[in-house]
Structures are given as structure tokens and as C-alpha cells.
Structure 1
Amino acid sequence: MTEMVRKITLSRAVRTMQDLFPEEYNFYPRSWILPEEFPLFVAEVRMMKENDPAWKPTFIVKPDGGCQGDGIYLIKDPSDIRLAGNLQSRPAVVQEYICKPLLIDKLKFDIRLYVLLKSLEPLEIYIAKDGLSRFCTEPYQEPTLKNLHQVFMHLTNYSLNIHSGNFIHSDSVNTGSKRTFSSILYRLSSKGVDIKKVWSDIISLVIKTIVALTPELKVYYQSDIPTGKPGPTCFQILGFDILLMKNLKPMLLEVNANPSMRIEHEQELSPGVFENVPSPVDEEVKVAVIRDTLRLMDPYKKKKKDNLSQPSEPASEKKEQLSEGGSTDKLEHDSSKNPEASLPSPCLKQVFPKYAKQFNYLRLVERVAALFIRFLGVKGTTRLGPTGFRTFVRNCKLSNSNFSMATVDILYIDITRRWNSMGMDHKESAPSV
């Protein structure tokens, strides 16, 4: 998963889906991969400027393996890319910068949402009902040559803005430089914004992104996880970073495979002396995510449910017991039988397969990957031998009276000879799936 959500891999996966379903995948900024697509980037920008002379774009360059805002910078022209240095050893993605974000208190912010990928087969996705809103610490202005380097204005990364003198640590989840997403939604709702529509668009973005990642992820998974094991053998909590545009359309910035789960921050007491201070907003969101992930992934949950299942009492009797004296004893007895009865209501909401019907038509590439796994039966990039090639031909029902197994063997030898005669450059560029 860490490999799948790196900036270059994510961009490639989403681009594949953009080629197939351009209208459905317009939530990801136009992107180019450096250094291999630098000439293409230059040519496309030049062409777009010629077609629309009024277009004054800004681009953001993100190192592929970077995190916490490291190495990110803004440019106005392709010629400003820092080709000198180690771009060859540290590839990057360059994206069209979103110049018109939604502002709160004149500040740009992004949303960190936690997504649980419970299993791949069947695909199960949960989204936390609340997230974090992380604010810049300088009032936003559209990018100009003068303010391009003002990171506290343009980059929402918490790890950068915490070093700003304007960063506000707050004991309230509704104020400060890091707040709950629900507090932002409350403010928007008070201004007449359709909050259900905002959430619906975000859920759609999350599902479509995971659908884009799933095909290759399944191939890797199949190569590492033994087949035939019942139930999910692993899970992942993902951190989706999303930006709301001025028109409230959500845009995907990136996906984190290992999002921070810290619920405290460092405070400098004196020069060089720090202490860890609780962060109410982090605790509010992250504790619920971890707690509910463990509840959902508990491998013995079904067994416990079966053991605890007893005939339920009529609802009228339950009401009477709760309103009568001594009902506390009854509740304590219930919670001792089922510890989850005393826990808060779940914060993780299932969005897939709940909304599967709406998105199944997008799973085209995933079905191709399933065919690859089923018919080739190979692990990852393991080379296919002559017996495996015969099995593949049989499973695909390609052999007939005119295409005998002897012909299949000759075809295998011919393909192998051609492959071995290819240069290494061609082999490396050939797709594995």
C-alpha cells in the first residue's frame, strides 16, 4: 500500500481511470511525472497557453517520496523546475495548482479524512464521520511571482505551519489552526450550504480513488497473501488529504498509507526543552478511528456474537425496565455480557459495498486484473513457464483443432526468444499487467 499511494503511482492509477472515465475522475489535478514527462509537460503547457492567452497557471512540484511538505515548491512556468540537482534520483509529480480554494477566516485549509480499507476481496471501505481541518497560518492570496515562496500561505501541511509564529493551538475543536471537519461543516451549514451534497461528493471521491488503486493492489496482494484463508488477513487505515474548492467541489491532493495517529504535540518550554501536550482535536478524531477499526477487525467478534446470542426481549419490556428503578443493574449486566454496549456509537461508516451499485461500472480495470490473476495464476512478476502458458491457453479456451498444444509450445518458445532478444530498456518499460 505504501508503494501504491506514492505520488507517481497514485497519479498513474488515477490517469488510467481518467482516460477511461474522464468525467468521473475530474477530482484530481492535471499531473505530469518528472523527469520522464518533462518534455510533454512543456509542450502541453505551451499549447494550452497558445489556445488561451489569458490563462496564467501556477504549478506545484511534489517529490515522489516526500512527506510533511518536504521539497514541495510552486512555479509559474515549466522553465522554473529545478532540473539541476537530483531530480533523476528523486523523481517528482508536477500538478496544476488549485488557485481558488474555499477559505475560512481568509485562510486556506485542507481536510484529512481517515479511511479504513477493511478487505480487498470482497472490497470493503469505511470512512470516518469526522476528520481534521488543517489551516495555513497566513491569509491566502492567489499565487504571484512575489508570494510563490510563502509556504505558510500556500501549503496546508501541519508539519510546516506548526513552525509559524501565527500557529494557534486551541483547547477547542472549533477554533485554532487545526479543527474538526465537523466544525467547518457546521459553519458552512449556517450559511446555507448543502452539507449532504458535500459529504456525498467526498464519499464518491474516496470510493473512486480506491477503485483506481485496487487492480494493481490485488495483484500484489495475491502474490504475498496465501489463497484460501477465510476472511481478511490484513487491513489499512489511509489518510485522504482533500481540498474544497471555492465552489465546494472536493479535490484529491494525496493519499497517505501511514497517516500520523499522534494525539499530542510538542510545546517548547524553554530553548531546546520540549514537553508533549495533549491535542483535544486529534484525540477527538483519532481515538474514535482506532477504537472502531479494532472493533471492526476483531477476528473473534463473530464467535463472540454467536456465543452471546440470546432471545431478545420485546422493545416495550426494555422501555419499562429503563424507566423503572433498578434499571442500572440491568444495564451493567448487559454491558458485562457485551463490552461493546458501553462504547460510543461507531464513527466509521461503511460506504462500500453499501454504494457498490453506483460504482460497479468503474471496476473495469479491476476485472482485467482478476482475469490476470485467475488465468495466469502467477505471483506478481514471476516469469510464466511453458506449463503455466499451456494452462493459460486452456483456461482461456483458446486451443482448438487448428491450434494444438504443439502449436502452443512453439508459440511459447517464439515469445520467449523474442523477449530475450529485447533490450533491457524495452523490458523495463513493458507493463507487467
Structure 2
Amino acid sequence: MRFKTTFRNTIYDTLLRRGWKETLENDWDFYWADREYIYDLLDTVHLENGQRVNHYRNGRELCRKDLLIKNLKRAKRQMDKKASELDSILGSYDFFPVTYILPGEYAIFVEEFKRNQGVWIMKPIGKAQGKGIFLFTKLSQISDWRTDFRWRPENQQVETYVVQRYISNPYLVGGKKFDLRLYALVPTFFPLEIYLFRGGFARFTNSRYSNNHSDIANSFIHLTNVAVQKTSENYNKKHGGKWDLRNLKLYMMSKHGPERINKLFYDIQLVIIKSLLSVEKIIMNDKHCFELYGYDVMIDENLKPWLLEVNASPSLSANTSSDYQLKCGMLSDMLDIIDLENKYVTWVVREHVGGFDLVYRDGNV
């Protein structure tokens, strides 16, 4: 195995437990690296049979905020134009907020904003961990920001943002907002196979939710990113602001009943499937590649799921013992699916592997 990544504690420990050894030579079987490095590697190195890397060549089509929205909008138009039998099973593409890409769609966005004012959220496409995100309610707030050097015509490196209608009615637990971090593994895009991990966690804000405009700049109320919340003086290092997905389900079932909550999580499963179908014919499939995606999903007060983001490099560092156990267990199950150790018969479709369930394969849900 080889590494070229910033954080590697859980994946490194998992591989060592399986008896794997690190090498600096080119006779590796498994290469775990940050996505930009893998993109360069796939363009410059000929991979041998049996070598696997942890990203697809153009995976940014799913994981870069503006490209994700472009592909989701295209899939929605195609479904509206001609729905297939599979589309009737999966349902409509109504699981992402109204979104525009700036600066290219600024004029269209302004028209929509004037028709439907409210709270909007700006996100830079090239940053993570909540960096550069802000909320606004007036065009004057974005106009002041728009005069920043990044948007000047002479600047050839204009920073692209997505602007979305803010989900102002989130489902709350204890008065606090949260989102879900879920994991989906795609060992191949041709045929498309999607494994969804049963585990996961809810990430909570430290402060109680408020939709008052006076609180709009308070990141501890509105942003669930751990990197943001852990800077709060109210951050709890013991549980890290996280709640195990199973415990969240049990809590919600006690409030709404098993039937409604089971339907909610089935709807979330469909959201993940539809997002991957939107790029199925765009991602360059390669037998040497696989990818573990981190999905960020929010639930509103009507128990409707909303897709916020898809991460190609979800954080695998662990800040609590339960976090460490969850991620190491998930990574070990992932390696069983990838099966570089040739433990399993290749032509047998495995529907359940550890904590992963096969939720989609080549048109079958």
C-alpha cells in the first residue's frame, strides 16, 4: 500500500490490522491519496492489473458543488422530458434547494431573489469545512461582497460560488439543527453499483436554532460542520457534537413512529442513488478505481431529505472513540467489497457486506 494524504489514522490502522505493509516503491496494490494527486496519477502512470486507487478520474463531476448542481439539473430536465420506468420508481429530482452558480448566473439569480426573497446561503466551490460560507437576506449584502477583487473583470481566477435558498425549517433535536453524514461506496460505475453504509452520524450545532435575521451571521447556529463547531466555547470534546445514526433513528421513531421514519431513510437512500445516476454516464469508469463518498443530508420539519453536498474525501480522522470504531469498521468492510485479497468469488453479487448494503446495481433498486 501507498499513501499520499493529509490524514490517515483510521485507514492506515485498518490496513495494518489486516497485515498490509507500506511501500515507497511502485509495486503497490492499493494507493490511498487525496483526489487531486490521484487525478494526476491516473493521467501519468500506467496501472497494472490488481492495482486499485481510491478516486475516479473525473470524480469532481459529483463532488464539486457547481458540477453536482449542473448534473442534477440536467437529470431533472431529462426526467421531466421523458420519464423511464426506473424514474417512476425513484421519483423526482426535488431533493436539492433552488441553486444558481455565480458569477455566471448572477442575473438569473437576482430575478429569482426579487420574486422570492428570504434567506440565501453562499458557498465557494473550492473550499471545505465551512470555509467561506455565509448567509444573507438582502441583495445589498451580496453586492458589497461582489465588489471584492475576486469578481473584478481583470481577474482571470474568479472564484466560483453556488448560491442556494437556505432551508429555514430544519428538523430540530433539543432545539438544535443537525445534518447527517452518510457513506456510499461505488466499486464500479459500469455497471453502476452502490453500497450504502448502515452506520453514520448526525452532526449538531452547539447553539439552539434561530431564524431571526439578527442571528444570520452566527455560524454556531447555522453551520453543522465539525471544523466550525469545534471552535465554539460550548463544544463538547467527549461526543464531538455527534450522535450515532441508530440512536437518532430510535429517537425519531419514538416521536413519529417506525413507518414514517423508515420511509424517510428510504427516501434518503433514493436521494443518494439518484445523485449517482446523474453522473453515471459522465464519470470515466476504470477497473482500477473505486470511491467512498461522504454524503451530507439535511432533514426538514416535514421529514423531507435535502442533499447538501457530496464529499470525495470525507474526513476519516476520528475525534472520539466511537467515531474511531465506526470509521475503522466501515473501512474494513469497504476493503472486503474491493477484495484485493481475493477472498471472494468475483461473479457472485454480494448484497450485504459487513455494514454495507447493496442498494443499486445496473438498474435494480
Q: Output the TM-score relative to the length of structure 1.
A: 0.62
Residue 301 of structure 2 aligns to a residue in which SS?
coil
1:221-278 superposed Cα distances (whole Å, 9 cap, x missing partner): 4xxx4xxxxxx321000000000111111100000000010123xxxxxxxxxxxxxx
Residue 9 of structure 1 is matched in structure 2 by 67
Task: For residue 167 of structure 2, give the secondary structure of its aligned residue in structure 1.
Answer: coil
| SS of residue matched to 1:214 | coil
Are 2:357 and 1:349 aligned? yes
Q: Please, which of 223, 229, 239 is the counterpart of residue 294 of structure 2? A: 239
Q: Is the 8 A contact 1:41 1:78 kept in 2?
A: no
Query: Which residue type is aligned with residue 326 of structure 2?
Result: V
97-106 or 280-289: which moved more?
Answer: 280-289
Q: Which residue of 1 aligns with 2:248?
A: 184
Query: Counterpart in 2 of 1:80?
Result: 141
SS at match of 1:253: strand
**Deviation at 1:111?**
0.4
CA offsets per residue over residues 383-408 of structure 1, 9 Å max, x none?
xxxxxxxxxxxxxxxxxxxxxxxxxx
Structure 2 CA distance for aligned equivalents of residues 213 and 143 of structure 1: 38
Q: Output the CA distance in 2 between the equivalents of 1:287 and 1:199.
A: 23
Q: Does 1:283 align with 2:291?
A: no
Select which of 106, 109, 114 maps to 1:41. 109
1:85-122 per-position Cα deviation (integer Å, ceiling 9, x unaligned):
21462110000000000001100000000110110111
The 8 Å contact of residues 132 and 285 in structure 1, kept in 2 or not, is answered as no
CA distance in 2, matches of 1:115, 1:148: 32
1:71 aligns with 2:136: no
- The answer to whether the aligner puts 1:24 opposite 2:24 as a matched pair is no
What does residue 266 of structure 2 align with?
200
Counterparts in 2 of 1:357 and 1:290: CA distance versus 1, 3 Å:
closer
The DSSP-based 3-state class of the residue aligned with 1:251 is strand
Match of 1:216 among 263, 282, 295: 282
Decide whether aligned partners of structure 1 residues 200 and 66 sit closer, same or farther in structure 2, where only a CA change above 3 A counts. Answer: same
- Greater C-alpha radius of gyration: 1
Equivalent position of 1:52 in the other structure: none
User: Once the two structures are superposed, what CA deviation does each residue of 1:319-364 show, in whole Å capped at 9, x if it has no partner?
Assistant: xxxxxxxxxxxxxxxxxxxxxxxxx97101110118x345xxxxxx
Aligned residues of 1:99 and 1:143 also touching (Cα < 8 A) = no
| Cα pair 1:180 1:285 within 8 Å, conserved | no
In 2 relative to 1, CA 21–281 (structure 1 residues): closer, same or farther, beyond 3 Å? farther
Q: C-alpha displacement at 1:305, in angstroms?
A: 5.2
Give the TM-score taking structure 2 as reference length: 0.73
Letter of the 1:109 partner, please give it: F
Runs of at least 5 residues in structure 2 that lack an aligned partner in the other structure? 1-57, 81-90, 152-156, 347-351
Residue 112 (structure 1) aligned to one of 173, 178, 181? 181
Q: What SS does the corresponding residue of 2:70 show, helix, strand or coil?
A: helix
Q: Is the 8 A contact 1:179 1:281 kept in 2?
A: no
Within a 5 Å distance, the mapping from 1:21-420 to structure 2 comes to: 21=79, 24-46=92-114, 48-49=115-116, 56-81=117-142, 82-85=145-148, 86-87=150-151, 89-144=158-213, 146-170=214-238, 177-193=241-257, 194-218=260-284, 221=285, 225=286, 232-264=287-319, 279-301=320-342, 346-353=354-361, 356-357=363-364
**CA 153–305 in structure 1, closer or farther in 2 if over 3 Å, else same:** same
Contact kept in structure 1, 2:195 and 2:358, CA below 8 Å: yes
Q: How far apart, in 2, do the equivalents of 1:357 and 1:349 lie?
A: 13
SS at match of 1:191: helix
Cα drift, residue 286 of structure 1: 1.0
User: Residue 298 of structure 2 aligns to a residue in which SS?
Assistant: strand
Q: Distance in 2 between matches of 1:7 and 1:287?
A: 28
Instruction: Provide the C-alpha distance between the structure 1 equivalents of 2:328 and 2:312, rounded to a whole number of angstroms.
Output: 18
Distance change >3 Å, CA 345–CA 7, structure 1 → 2: closer
CA contact (8 A) 2:59 2:283 kept: no
Larger helix percent: 1
1:289-332 superposed Cα distances (whole Å, 9 cap, x missing partner) = 10101001013435x659xxxxxxxxxxxxxxxxxxxxxxxxxx
Q: Match of 1:136, as an amino acid?
A: T
Unaligned runs of 5+ in 1: 50-55, 226-231, 265-278, 307-343, 359-433
What is the CA–CA distance in structure 1 between the aligned matches of 2:192 and 2:65, rounded to whole Å? Answer: 23
Aligned-CA RMSD value: 2.0
Q: Distance in 2 between matches of 1:284 and 1:191?
A: 28
Between 1 and 2, higher relative CO (CA 8 Å, sep ≥ 6) is seen in 2
- Whether the 8 Å contact between 2:97 and 2:306 is mirrored in structure 1 is yes
Q: Is the CA contact 2:336–2:353 (under 8 Å) kept in the aligned structure 1?
A: no
Change (3 A) 1:198 1:20: same
Find the aligned partners of 1:112 and 1:78 in 2 and give their Cα distance. Answer: 32
Deviation at 1:143, TM superposition (A): 4.3
- Equivalent residues, number: 282
Q: What per-residue deviation string (whole Å, max 9, x for no partner) do you get for residues 111-143 of structure 1?
A: 000110110111110011011211011100114
CA shift at 1:44, angstroms? 2.1
Q: Deviations over 1:151-198 (max 9, x none)?
A: 000011110000101111235xxxx61111111111011123322111
Q: Which moved more, 1:65-74 or 1:282-291?
A: 282-291
The one-letter code sitting in structure 1 at the alignment partner of 2:179 is D
